Amino acid sequence: MHARTRIAAALVAVAVGALTITACDTGNTVVDKPKEHAAAKADSGKDAKKGKSSDAAKVGDTLTLKGFEKGSQLDVTVVKVVDPGKPADEFTEPDAGKRFVGVQFQLVNTGKAVYSDSPSNGAQVADSEGQQFDSTFADITAGPSMSSSLKLKPDAKGLSWIVFEVPKASKLDAVQFTMDSGFADQTGEWKLK
């Protein structure tokens, strides 16, 4: 009788351990290797001619990111960065000691599921000190802001700006984008230097 109890307790311990390991391993990854054809187009220097693809993504490169939902996938491109971004009207100004930075994203739904999200929730910029900054609600003269409820059927694309408010002294180092309002397991990262 005691042997059965010990075996049952051991099985429960193994099951709990497996669940704990599974729960702790969320699979979060940073994707920074551009798609082959996109990297060659974006890099007009000699590295593109050599076919060098080990470099981290930069402005102009496309990263493929997956969301939580089965069949949820985007090709995300950081098209342009405007730093500083000029406010679109006289009523919108960054706080004292800060500036607007605009990042133009192109999102192409390469998955089988409809993409429906607020892309600005999953976008951040980071400076050389490691500080990260979320998006803000502001319009800049560079172009229209990203919709707060973007819906893309498979093969559809969206092209718009996401605006960030950062300290004037910050030297921006990277742009990040994560599907599912920032909660998906894969985060795309583009270097700005």
User: What pLDDT, on the 0 to 100 scale, is given for residue 166?
Assistant: 98
User: What pLDDT, on the 0 to 100 scale, is given for residue 21?
Assistant: 34
User: What pLDDT, on the 0 to 100 scale, is given for residue 75?
Assistant: 98
Extract the residue ranges of the chain whose pLDDT is less than 70.
1-27, 37-54
User: What pLDDT, on the 0 to 100 scale, is given for residue 74?
Assistant: 98
User: What pLDDT, on the 0 to 100 scale, is given for residue 37?
Assistant: 54
Rounded to two decimals, what is the model's pTM?
0.77
Q: Are 83 and 105 in contact (CB under 8 A)?
A: no
Residue type, 21: I
Would you give the distance in Å from CA 169 to the centre of its chain? 24
